[in-house]
Each structure stands twice: as C-alpha cells, then as structure tokens.
Structure 1
C-alpha cells in the first residue's frame, strides 16, 4: 500500500473524528488533498464528497438523540438542501472561471431559518469549518444538549454535502480515487468518534468543541496574517 493511500486514509479518519465531535475536520482533509497534488477547486469538491460519509455515519450514531427532535428534522433537511444547492452553484461558478431560543417569536423563527439557509449556502460552497458554524447556529436557536446538537449538526452537514455532491458530479470536479480513500477514513472516524462522544459527560464534549474552535480560529489567523 502506497504512502499516499495511508496518508489520505489517516487524514480522513482524523478529519471524521474532528467533524463528529465539533467540526473543522476539513482543515485536515482539504490540505491533505492539496498535498497529494489535487487542484484547489477539485480538492474542495472532493473533500465535500469524502466528508459526507463521516457526517452520515456520525448522524446514525446519534440517532437516539435525533429522535427527540423528529418534528423539526424535515424542515432542517429541506433548508439545508436548498442552501447546499446555492452554495455548490457558487463553487461551480468558480470552476468555470478557473478553467437563540427554541420558543422564539414567529419573526425570530423566520430569521433563524434564513440564518440556517445562509449557513447551508456556505457549506455547499466551502465545507471547511461548517460543523462549528452549525453548532453556533444551534446554540443561537436555543439547543443545549451537546449530543443532540452534534447529531443535528451532522444531519445538516450530510444534507448539504449530498446535494452539493450531486452538482459537483454534474460539473465533473470530484477526484474519485483519492476521494474514495479519504471517504473510507472519514466513515470510520466519524462513527467511532460519535459513539465515544455519546458516552462522555457533556461538559467534556463541550470542552472539546471549544478547543477545536479556538484551534480553527488560530489557524485562520496565522494563515491570513502571518503566512
């Protein structure tokens, strides 16, 4: 087995772990694809394809927590799909160029849905950091159970990714071989991490979310201002 295959699988595994616990796994998987020579636009699309497996396996692991929110799942999925379409269309455009409360008022509820649409558009356009942004949205919407929030986060991420993947396939921007190896890693890592986090005290999981969020912020700071 070549170094490239092992490297991509491990990147996918750890990316899936990070995505299940908090979000930001794409800051592992996306650079890994760039490292093995995939052009940025195709790496972005391929990363969305590969990460989706981890989102889906993690969502399945959190199925009991999601059952408590079954009344809102359909609307969340529909909004996420719409946002994924718009975001992926933005990504396709770049390819052509290159070559807080659950019982909110009615107006507040509409604004939260618009915000979710915006989050989903971002996720369809660029997957990196999506999980952390969704967790922030869920906290604003009034959710407090971190395991349920992680399940909803993964569900939204999966919906956004699936619709974006369909458009990426249509525009032929997915690198299948490397993407499939990465996908296998995220599938395993996402499921394992979700199962483990369900057994941990919520305080520890929240601590993990904070650590990953701070690390992501520092990554952006150094990449933007000090690179």
Structure 2
C-alpha cells in the first residue's frame, strides 16, 4: 500500500512538472526504483506512464508546427524517429548494469540541460553556426537519447536548434514537443512489444500523471516562471545527488 501511494504521488508530481517546466522523469523514475522496480524496467515503465501527457501536448501544438531555421520538419522527424528506435533497442539490448551505472551521469547531464542548456546554446551560437547535416546528426543522437533515457531532451533540442540560427523559443515549442513525442512513441511501442513494462505500477502513474498534468497547467498560470524554474532545478539537483550517493557512496 505504501508503494501504491508513492507511485500515485510521484505520477501526479511528474505530470505537473512536465506541464510546468519539464523533468517529470526525475520524479517518476526514482519512485519506481524505490518501489522495487529494477532500474531498466523502471525507466521503460516511466516512459510509458508519462507518454499520454506528451501526446496531449503534441496534439495541442498541432497548428503550430514548422521546420527549424532552414531544416524542414520532415527530415527532423525522420531522424528523431530513427534515433528513438536506436535508443530504445540499446536500452533493452545492453546489460541492465550498464544502465544502472550510467543513470547518475544521465541525470547529471539532464540537470545541466535543465539549468544551463539555453545559455550554453546561446553562448555557442555567438561563435559558430552549424550546417544542416551536422544538426540532423545531432538530432539523431538526441532521438537516441530520448529513446534510451530522455531526461530534459526537449531542452537539449532547443539548444542544438539555436546553433542552427533558430532563436524564437515560442515558435520552437511545437517542433520540440513533436520531436520528443516521436522519440517516445517509438520507445513506448518497442518497450510494450518486448514486454518490458511493469503494468501495475505504470497503470497507477498513467492515471495520476494525467491528473497532475492538468493541475500543473492550471497552477502554471498563477506561479511566476522563475519560481517554477528554480524549484524544478532544486529538485533535480537533489535527486541527481541522491543517485550519485546510491552508486558511489
């Protein structure tokens, strides 16, 4: 019963975080592991549990989709889908201890993306501008990261697109959500087909994450942006530190 409440609360918080600032997997993944789900299975289950919220966001942005800078939408979508397939297969193929060892570092990378991704993108953009082929290669890697783990992948995409000369964050919201959803779609299909989902735990989070996403959207209209941003960042830092202590303490 305690695990049930833990998963329900974590699902609600993860859904709210994704609606407010992103980073919901920072809550859902540790909660699943704390409930006794093995790390790889916890990661796949977390991806499936948070997927409906991602789909809803993509649908909401359906009228605001366009290419990024000089790169059309279709090539970006194709390489993201291929990357999502590669990342999901990599997660299921490699030994589970590989993911367990990489998890603290993945969380650290995602934390840096949440905290400094846009600033790093702006800093690099003032010094170079990447050609389209390089951006597509990077997009494939981000799709693979999304299929393998996916924490803060949307913010990483925005930072990379900035190197192409895309500066309008509002205009990039639609493509960003679509690409994240595309990578997650392939991962979810592969995880379900492989039977790599803890359905009892996932079902609880599916319901509460949807409720949390709706509540987060309502609350987000009233809470100042900096409060949401720094609160999310503080939580992700704390969880990342906890996983480093778990791995090396």
Residues 26, 119 of structure 1: alpha-carbon distance in 2 compared, 3 angstrom cutoff: same
- Aligned-pair CA distance for 1:217: 4.8
- Tell me if the contact between 1:53 and 1:184 (Cα under 8 Å) persists in the aligned partners: no
Question: Which residue does the alignment assign to 1:220?
Answer: 240
- The corresponding residue for 2:48 is 49
Deviation at 1:134, TM superposition (A): 2.9
Normalization by structure 2: what TM-score?
0.71
Using the alignment, how far apart are the partners of 1:48 and 1:76 within structure 2? 21
Computed over aligned residues only, the root mean square deviation of the Cα atoms, in angstroms, reads 3.4
CA shift for structure 1 position 163: 0.4
Q: How has the CA–CA distance of structure 1 residues 222 and 6 changed in structure 2, closer, same or farther, with 3 Å as cutoff?
A: closer
> Using the alignment, how far apart are the partners of 2:76 and 2:229 within structure 1?
22
Q: 1:217 to 1:43 in 2, by over 3 A?
A: same
Partner of 1:114: 137
Q: Give the TM-score normalised by structure 1.
A: 0.77
Deviations 1:99-147, CA, capped at 9 Å, x for gaps: x77xx97x61111111111111011111333233234334444444444
* Deviation of 1:182 (Å): 0.8
Q: Deviations over 1:147-184 (max 9, x none)?
A: 44444332222111110112112221111121122122
Map 1:69-84; keep pairs closer than 5 Å: 72-84=72-84
Please give the residue correspondences for 1:4-19 in structure 2 after superposition, counting only pairs within 5 Å. Answer: 4-19=3-18
CA drift of 1:46 comes to 0.6
More off after superposition, 163-172 vs 28-37: 163-172
Give 1:127's aligned residue: 150
The alpha-carbon deviation at position 221 of structure 1 amounts to 4.9
Choose from 191, 196, 206 the match for 1:168. 191
1:183-222 to structure 2, matched below 5 A, reads: 183-194=206-217, 205=225, 208-209=228-229, 212-213=232-233, 215-217=235-237, 219-221=239-241
**Aligned CA distance change for structure 1 residues 55 and 120 (closer, same or farther; 3 Å):** same
Q: Do the aligned partners of residues 112 and 195 (structure 1) sit closer, same or farther apart at CA in structure 2, a change above 3 Å counting?
A: farther
- The equivalent of 2:88 in structure 1 is 88
Give distance in 2, aligned partners of 1:157 and 1:13: 20
The answer as to whether partners of 2:89 and 2:190 remain within 8 angstroms in 1 is: yes
Q: How far, CA to CA, are the matches of 2:164 and 2:237 in structure 1? A: 22
Give the number of equivalent residue pairs.
Answer: 218
User: Matches of 1:131 and 1:122 in 2, distance apart?
Assistant: 11
Asked if 2 retains the 8 angstrom alpha-carbon contact of 1:55 and 1:154, the reply is: yes
Q: Structure 2 vs 1, CA of residues 155 and 67 (structure 1 numbering), >3 Å: closer, same or farther?
A: closer
Counterpart contact for 1:55–1:190, Cα < 8 Å: no
Greater Cα shift, 150-159 or 24-33? 150-159
Following superposition, the deviation at residue 211 of structure 1 comes to: 5.5
Shift of 1:23: 2.4
